[in-house]
Each structure stands twice: as structure tokens, then as C-alpha cells.
Amino acid sequence: MIRYLMKNSFKLMIRSSLNIFLFIAGPLVVMLVLSSAFSTLLQKYSDTAQEFSVGYSMDETYDKAFVEAVKNVAAGEGITLLEFQKGDPKKIIENNDLAGFIAFEDGKYVIYQSKDHPAEGKKVEYLIYTFSEENLKAADGGTEDPELTVEQRKYKTTIDSTDYYGIIEVVYFGMCAIICAAAIINNEKKNKIDKRFAVSGISTFKMYLTKLIPTAFAVCVCLTITMILSVVLIGVHWGSYPLSALIIYLSAFAATAFGLMVYYITSSMVVTVIIVFTSVWFMGFFGGSFEVYMYSAHQEILKNISPIYHVNRALVELSCEGKSDYIGSAVIFMTAITVVCSLVSIFAGHLRRRGRA
């Protein structure tokens, strides 16, 4: 009976035009739009490895030793600091084709960024900030000759917009897997299947599997079709297909388990969709679904606590490098979410069946 119910649930989802659009047509449309819109910007970001120049001015009150130390560290990062007399920073940037300008005055510094070189400006800002923090730590420690270093955020080879957005949009839409379960849940409510199986004595665990397995499997089928179409129609490179598919499938199961957990707790599909979509949005915001994770200004700790970040980075690096150090963390994250959320769902379902929730 359980096997029949799973088969019937799978058919319900596959026949749903909403599911087909959301998990096949939706990602393709969005990746086409984003890859085209951000192709120029991503190309600008990819040029950040080249050397560039930044101007600076310094008043008499500023510590010359500090400025010289900054120049030395910047030179090691491919940034040349050129001294100018005090003037309008914007005009100096425009007239000398600089990536930015730093004004050292009154015991502080102000960074002016060029609108034509946003990525270089971010690099300068990060370098100066990190250097200043290291300098303060060294001063507090009483070190006479501190070794000041700048820890740069290291990422793999840059990737073009077609591959990047082609990959991360599949992940993002897959994380909304609970929508695929709407057909099952509505069918169960309509036919009062939960109550019937409760009387029959079938365990909560088996009832949970009748939702988890068909939903995740249907999402995996749709995402597989999307991956194939993205290669054929758009030219997305997925790197190692077996590894990429494995990570995508694990994320589909994790997303389904998370969505079902919220539903088992709230008993409302509307509330579930709101909570899941909000959670996915925040995870995507810090995980590179909107802004390219390689160049976003978010702190590393915020990125690392986002499950989507680990999945996105693993897949992107598989695409451009053929390997990734984030495969393990992506697999662990997705497996842990699936297991933990499933246990919570089963427990909540057991309580509800006994009339305690």
C-alpha cells in the first residue's frame, strides 16, 4: 500500500504544470536573463588579478611610516600607490585613470572609489581595512616591529556568467522543493488519507516517506532535465557530471526534508511556503545566489553558515577547476539537514497523531 501511495504521489507531481514550470522552465529563463545581464560585470570582476594604480595624499600630521608600510603591502598585492598633492579626489581619479584615491589626513583615511573600477576599489578597501586592524592589534600587543600581513580571500579561477548563473539557479530553484509536495499534501487532505492510515496503524515514519521520497525524486527528475537542457541550449559547463548530479540530488532531498519539517510543525502549506522561501532567500543572499560569492562583501562566517554557499561553491569550482575543497562540506551539510529535519518531522507527526500537537 505504501509503495502504491508513493507511485501515485509521484504521478501527481509529474503531471503538475506548476512543478514542470518551476523546476524546468523557471531556472532556464532566469539563468538566461541573469547570465546576459551580468556578463559584463562578471568580466570586470575577472580582471581584478591585474595590476592597477591608486592615488593618495597625506597631510603633515599623518604617520609617514604607516603610509610607507601600506605602500609596501599594496605593492605585494599588485597595487601601486602614487602620491599626489591635496585636491579633488574625483578629478585626480579621472585625470590619471586611477582605480581609487586614499586621503590620509587628520589621523584617519578616506577611500574614494572609481565608478569604472568597482572591483579594484573593493580590493583596496579590504586591504587597507585589514592592514589597519593588524596594525592596531600589533600596537596593543606592544610589538616594536610587528609583521603586518594582509590575508587575501582566495578563490578559484573565475567563471563566466553563463556557467555561474546556470549552476546557481538550478540550486536555488531546487531548494524550493516543498512546492512540489503541494499536490501530495492537497490530495491527502482532500481524501483524508492521514486519518485513514492512522486508523490502519501504519507508522508515522512510513507516512513521512510517502511524502519525502516521491517529492525529492520528482524534483531530482525535473532538475536533471534542466541540467541537460542548460548544457544543450545555453552551453553551461557542469564539470564532473556524476559529482555535480550527486550534490544536486542531495540538495533536493535536504530541501524537501526542510520543507516537510516546517509543514509538519505548522500544518499550513501557506505558512510553510512563506517560511521556506524566506529562509532560502536569506541563504541565497549570503551564499552567492544573487551576488557572485567571489566578490561579495559579506563576512566569511556568514557565507559559511549558509548551506547554499557550500553547494554553490562546490559546483562552481567543479565547473571551472574540475575539483573543489567544498564537496565534502556540501555533502555533509545536505545530509545533516535531511537527517535532522526528517527526525523532527517524524517526531512532530507522531505527536500530532497522538493529539499532542
Per residue in 141-168, pLDDT (tens digit) is 544 444 444 444 444 455 778 888 899 9
Q: What percent of the chain has pLDDT over 70?
A: 83
State which H helix or E strand residue 103 sits in. Answer: strand 100-105
Are 251 and 243 contacting, i.e. CB atoms less than 8 angstroms apart?
Answer: no
> Model confidence at 342, in pLDDT bands (50, 70, 90)?
very high
Neighbour-count burial of 110, counting CB atoms closer than 10 A to its CB (0-12 exposed, 13-18 middle, 19+ buried): exposed
Mean pLDDT of all residues in 178-205: 73
| Grid coordinates belonging to 90 | 574625483
pTM (global) more than 0.75: no
Distances (CA, A) of 13 to 41, 77, 220: 38, 53, 12
User: Greater confidence, 49 or 117?
Assistant: 117
pLDDT at 113 over 90: no
Q: Answer whether residue 69 shows pLDDT above 50.
A: yes
Residue 192 pLDDT greater than 80, yes or no:
no
DSSP output for 313-338: HHHHHHHHHS--TTHHHHHHHHHHHH
Which residues are paired to 23 by β-bridges? none
Cα–Cα distance, 309 to 10 (Å, whole number): 29
- E strand or H helix that includes residue 81: strand 79-83
Residue 223 predicted with pLDDT over 60: yes
Backbone φ and ψ of 348, nearest 5°: -65, -40
- Sorted by where each starts, the structural domains of the chain and their CATH numbers stand as 2-42+157-353 (no CATH), 45-140 (3.40.190.10)
Contacts of 227 (CB under 8 A, 6+ apart): 170, 236, 238, 244, 245, 248
State the average pLDDT for the chain. Answer: 82
Interval 11-55: pLDDT, tens: 777 677 777 777 888 889 988 888 776 665 555 555 544 678 899
* Sheet with 100-105: strands ordered across: 79-83, 52-58, 100-105, 108-113
